[in-house]
Structure 1
């Protein structure tokens, strides 16, 4: 095993352990001290609360790292298929460790946390990221996909507010709902034309042919599958946005 691949495996394992520790020890302690309503939640709700706290931490770390790479990693931007993948592999390894942790969590708490779409999303992402970690290919496209994590904190904040009984008509809830809809659309839907424009630009080039059919399929097929999942989630969020902001509220009788 090459040194870079061995390092990637170590980062994946370390990420898995770190996120599991955050779920089991860090989140319960901080949540109980910072949010009085946490201790009064049922055990199933506390598990989901801790899960979403870990999800938020992962999204912030990986999302900001992703933006840094897109802005400053000239080697990756110059050659999206074979550019120097060192920083991208680090970011992907962190995400892969999180995805493994979250898959086990979903299976452990399937009755309360289980979601077939999330399982499909995690498996598809892990399959594609495996080629990035093992062969160092497609660093730009792998990193570009991680932009979608920037929408996660807003989704989780909505759930936190609902769980502690914060009114959806409050300014904070409304502002977060609007931000969630806009950010989700921008980082998961609006970027699709730009993503596939880059795919078409490199399609058929010698760099593309060097990938081989197996890697090409691992790149394109999961990408299309993720577009379907994102479209389903965008529909759900848009429907919730419409119910909150656009649907007329009935007036109470005098």
Structure 2
């Protein structure tokens, strides 16, 4: 009996190592795994909030859906921000001191992490479309489609992963945005926490979605000789996607400034 269990264990480990985590299957494994993880976090959030928060049952159906959906969004944002910061600033993978063009560097880990992000964006886009427009309008659909296209291309080809991770650092603003919605839904719009959260969102957005993108454009300029080595699709994604996202970020930033100004004016 022990030998049979050991045999099954060895076969399972072989399957995991050579197929599910093999180079050719890894992207798809990470995507599918991320989608299942999103579903698990969503269901756990619904369960925990129903049991431990009495006011949760008084929310409307769409509020309960969005509450759990934002929990998934927050966890993904924290995870991808940490990993993106690691790859961009601490990992030797994209260091200028390493041999080879920086635009063509990738690793099994960097590809796997991008697959996780693709899985999340697919799951979240599905939710947005299913409940459209309750969870977000057309700007969210465009944002997610651009994100899926750029991240999936970088994941599957191994090209431009550095710039993909640079853009993904901007997800650091997501937890603050979600917390603001939580506070509003919980009736804490006039609390000090709501005001502090607004200030934090302003600073985080300025750094992660305005200044960071300026740095991305500067980095592309410095390494344009390497960017030109990408195929036409890769060059398009590296140059055009950040521009489109920058325009969207500026529009949202104006709304954040107006909202923060309005909140501060009410407290005077």
Q: Any conservation in 2 of the 1:93–1:133 contact (CA below 8 Å)?
A: yes
Are positions 1:156 and 2:181 aligned together? no
Identify unmatched segments of 5+ residues in structure 1: none
Higher CA-based Rg: 2
More displaced, 72-81 or 54-63? 72-81
Counterpart of 2:124? 102
Counterpart of 1:7? 26
Secondary structure of the 1:165 match is: coil
Q: Could you tell me the TM-score, scaled by structure 1's length?
A: 0.90
Tell me how far 1:7 sits from its aligned partner: 0.5
Tell me how far 1:3 sits from its aligned partner: 4.2
1:90-129 aligned at under 5 Å gives the runs: 90-129=112-151
Are positions 1:214 and 2:236 aligned together? no
User: Structure 1 residues 67 and 35 mapped into 2: Cα distance closer, same or farther (>3 Å)?
Assistant: farther
Q: Any conservation in 1 of the 2:103–2:162 contact (CA below 8 Å)?
A: yes
Secondary structure of the 1:76 match is: coil
Secondary structure of the 1:57 match is: helix
Counterpart of 1:54? 72
User: Structure 1 residues 111 and 195 mapped into 2: Cα distance closer, same or farther (>3 Å)?
Assistant: closer
1:65-76 aligned at under 5 Å gives the runs: 65-76=83-94
Tell me how far 1:84 sits from its aligned partner: 3.0
Tell me how far 1:214 sits from its aligned partner: 2.2
1:239-250 aligned at under 5 Å gives the runs: 239-245=258-264, 247=265
**What RMSD over aligned residues (CA atoms) do the two structures have, in Å?**
1.9
Distance 2:47 2:218 in 1: 46
Counterpart of 1:196? 217
Tell me how far 1:156 sits from its aligned partner: 0.4
Tell me how far 1:224 sits from its aligned partner: 1.1
Of the three residues 127, 147, 169, the one matched with 1:147 is: 169
Distance 2:195 2:136 in 1: 27
User: Structure 1 residues 114 and 71 mapped into 2: Cα distance closer, same or farther (>3 Å)?
Assistant: closer
Secondary structure of the 1:4 match is: coil
Number of aligned residue pairs: 245
Distance 2:71 2:167 in 1: 21
More displaced, 148-157 or 227-236? 227-236
Distance 2:196 2:267 in 1: 19
